[in-house]
Amino acid sequence: MKDNRFIPHYNQDKSCWEVEFPNRATEEGDLLYVTCEYLWTSLYYPYNTCETKGKEFHGHSHSIDGVISAVLHDPEGFTIDGFEEYYSQQERELLVKLQEKLKQDCDGVK
């Protein structure tokens, strides 16, 4: 029988996902993070905000949640222009709607 602790699994005691490795430390966290560590890869979502636009390095996240957070922090400056290929049509539509709604709702607050 194979040793299943080297496969991502939920640890009830710690209330998180984990994966053990024979030659490095155990990784713990949310399911996406643990799965990416297990596969030695990650998702990549590049974008720009007022802070990164025109600079050598753009902003990025390894989850769509992180991208949404960037929109929430900078609805005026956020853009995925030039990076559209990294996003599905559904993700692009969600980000556009969120950005438009934030701009609309924040406009009355200023």
Q: What is the mean pLDDT of the chain?
A: 91
The reported pLDDT for the residue numbered 110 is 44
51-60: pLDDT as tens digits: 998 888 899 9
Give the CB-side neighbour count of residue 66, counting CA atoms within 13 A.
13
* Percent of the chain surpassing pLDDT 90: 84
39-98: pLDDT as tens digits: 999 999 999 999 998 888 899 999 999 999 999 999 999 999 999 999 999 999 999 999
Give the domain ranges of the chain. 4-39, 45-107
